[in-house]
Structure formats: structure tokens, C-alpha cells
Amino acid sequence: MITLAMLSPPTTAELLLRGLSVGSMMATVVGMWRMPVSRNAKVATTIFFTAVSGYVLDAYGRAVMLVGFGYPICWLLDAGIAGYVWMMILVVFEDRKVSPLILAPAVLQTALDVTGSLTHASPNGLPYTIRDGISLLLAAHALLLVFRGWRGDLVEARRRLRGPFMATVALFVIVQTVLDSIRRHGVAMDWMPLANAAAVAVITVIGAGIFLDGRGVIFGASRFASPAPGAPAAADEAGLSRLLQAMDAEMLWRQEGLTIGKLAERIGVPEHRLRRLINDHLGHRNFTDFVNSRRIEAAKRVLSDPTQARTTVAAIAYDHGFASLGPFNRAFKAETGASPREWRQREQAKAAGATAAE
């Protein structure tokens, strides 16, 4: 049996830091299941923090001395860690559901690690090189999602909390992947285990504070907030007037790639004030939702029109400001509970029934 007295001071410090990390994450998981957030958010958080715990215990083979028979589980979780980070960021910033497809990158990375082990591949062998390449691509895409979601978030508390934290996690994946690759090429890094343990401890303790203190703000318990009661101030009223003129009369929402910065510049309202106007007075928590609500309403009218029956769903998506069909389908289903095709079939069947009844 291994005791702390048998270990060197650096190794003891590393084990204590990793224990702090795992304890923080398990407390976060328990706390999340008691919070008023969606089941999807709870499942995503559980998967994410469990996987990170596996990474923490598996890293460099030191802390795992105290895990014993749990080593294979830690190893498998560690293998797909970049995929689990990517999954979590999709859930947080894109409101995506946990599904086999969203977990596929983590499963693929794990399969590559298992393949490398079973084939006794060298540390720089093809399976590990491909796995690291996937890690870098996933982390880069995650950073893009974080930035895009941070820019479009209209809730100040979420902008302060979740963007910087999840960006730090994605950057950590990139740095650690590069360092691991360098280490496997024979470069001695005796300082890395303790430095890794310290960095992870800081990130996980801060993350626990954010997730547990956020009370659902991180995920956004609702896509919409209650508009501020009462009439807006004179300055806000003028800004709202310009905003609604641009969005409804000029139909600025048709512009593909419309951002809150571009809209603020177009209507002559500072970006921070425009965020407050849309959130406080129109009740939207996210700029993308605000724009898409108008796009979807216009698309519903086209889909319900029998004379437009030959217009493809893709053509409708592009004509209403969506860059591709996938985001249109997701936004439409989030708004209506049905896919565009299902909506069209249902609404046109109603129209045909009404015509027959006449």
C-alpha cells in the first residue's frame, strides 16, 4: 500500500492538487443535479466533469497510483478529453443536445488511443498523431464557438462568467496537447506533472465556483427573459425605435452574418447599450435568437404558402439570412418544435382541409 510518507514532496503536492481538482468537480456534478437547469445541461455537466476527473487522475501516471483498479477507466476518459471539452462548449454556447453524434469525436479519440495501445505503436505513431490532430482541431473550433457565443450573449452575467472560463479550458487543451507531443519526442519536462496539476486545480476550483454560483445562468434556463416593466426612458425609446425600424421595416435580419456590432453601427447605438435594449426591453437573452426569431417568422409564412410549395427548404433558409441548412433546421425546430418540412406538411394540410371544407 502506498502512503504519502513514501512519496517525494513534489509528488505529494501533485497528488493533493489532483485530489482537490477531483473533489471540486464531483461537488459541481452533485450541485448541478440540484439546480433548476435542464436535464440535458445536467447530463452534459456530469459527462464533462467525470471525463476531466479521469484526465486528472490519469495524467502522467502519478496520481493513478492511488486509483488502482480504476486505472483503465481513467485512461479511457483521458483519451477523449478534447472531445468532451468540445461537447460541453457546444451544449453551453450552442444549446445542443447530448447525442451520439456530439459524443462521436470523444469516442473516435478513445478508439485511436486503444488502437495505439493494442498495436504497441510508438509514442509518435500514427494513432496518437491523429488523435492529437483531432484534439487541436476540436479545441480551435471550440474557441471559435466561445467567441461567437460570447459576442452574441445579451446577459451580462453570462458574458462575464462562461466565456472566459470555457475559452481558458479550450486553450488549456491546445497547450497541453502541444506539450504532450513535445514530451513524447523525448524532451525532458520534469516540471510538467506538478505544473499540470496546479493549473488544473486552479481551473477546476474556479469552474466549480462559476457553475455552482451561477444558478442556471451559465446554461441560460430560458432563451427569453421577461422584458423590463414600464415604458423605456427617452434615450432607450429612441434607440428601440431605430432598432425596430432597421429590423422590421428595412428587414436587416436578411443579411447573412449579421452581428450585434454591425447592427449597432448601422443604427448608431453603442453596442453595450444595444445589448441592454434587446435584453431588457425585447426580452431576448441571445442576439442570434433575436435575429432568428424574425427569420423564422418570415420563413413560416413562406412554408405555409401553397403557392410556394415548390420552393425548397434550403432556398428558404438562404433567402432568410441563414448560411446553411443545418442552422436553419435547428433554429426552426427550437422555435416551433417541428422541422421546416414537418411544419410545411402540417400547415399546407390544414390549408387543403380548409379549402375542401368550403
pLDDT of residue 137: 96
Among 30-44, 186-200, 231-245, 263-277, the range scoring the smallest mean pLDDT is 231-245
Give the number of C-alpha atoms closer than 13 A to the C-alpha of residue 101, restricted to the C-beta side: 4
DSSP 179-208: HHHHHHTT---TTHHHHHHHHHHHHHHHHH
State yes or no: pLDDT of 10 exceeds 60.
Answer: yes
DSSP 128-150: HHHHHHHHHHHHHHHHHHHHHHH
State yes or no: pLDDT of 1 exceeds 50.
Answer: no
pLDDT of residue 232: 59
Confidence tier at 111 by pLDDT (50, 70, 90) = very high
Q: What is the mean pLDDT of residues 268-281?
A: 87
State yes or no: pLDDT of 174 exceeds 90.
Answer: yes
Q: How many CB atoms lie within 10 A of CB 34?
A: 9
Q: What is the mean pLDDT of residues 170-185?
A: 90
pLDDT of residue 88: 92
Q: Indicate the class that CATH gives domain 289-358.
A: mainly alpha
Q: How many CB atoms lie within 10 A of CB 215?
A: 12
State yes or no: pLDDT of 101 exceeds 90.
Answer: yes
pLDDT of residue 231: 52
Domain boundaries, the chain: 4-213, 223-285, 289-358
Confidence tier at 9 by pLDDT (50, 70, 90) = low
Q: 4-213 domain in CATH 1.10.1240?
A: no
Closest CA to 90 of 146, 39, 52: 146
pLDDT of residue 214: 54
Q: What is the mean pLDDT of residues 139-163?
A: 82
Which triple of cell numbers denotes residue 327?
A: 442552422
Residues 57, 96 contacting (CB under 8 angstroms): no
Which triple of cell numbers denotes residue 20?
A: 482537490
Average pLDDT, the chain: 84
pLDDT tens-place string over residues 329-352: 988 988 888 899 998 988 878 766
pLDDT of residue 198: 93
Q: How many CB atoms lie within 10 A of CB 198?
A: 16
pLDDT tens-place string over residues 11-61: 778 888 888 999 999 998 998 888 877 888 889 999 999 999 999 888 765
pLDDT of residue 82: 95
Q: What is the mean pLDDT of residues 92-114?
A: 92
Distance CA 335, CA 299 (A): 12
Confidence tier at 209 by pLDDT (50, 70, 90) = confident
Q: What is the mean pLDDT of residues 158-185?
A: 87
Q: What is the mean pLDDT of residues 263-270?
A: 90
State yes or no: pLDDT of 305 exceeds 90.
Answer: no
pLDDT of residue 225: 52
77 sits in which H/E element? helix 71-79
State yes or no: pLDDT of 224 exceeds 60.
Answer: no
pLDDT of residue 221: 41
pLDDT of residue 168: 92
Task: Record the pTM.
Answer: 0.75
The three-class DSSP label of residue 153 is: strand
Q: Which of 286 and 314 is assigned the larger pLDDT?
A: 314
Q: Which of 50 and 123 is assigned the larger pLDDT?
A: 50
pLDDT of residue 222: 44
pLDDT of residue 68: 63
pLDDT of residue 63: 53
Buried b (16+ CB within 10 A) or exposed e, 181-191: beeeeeeeeee
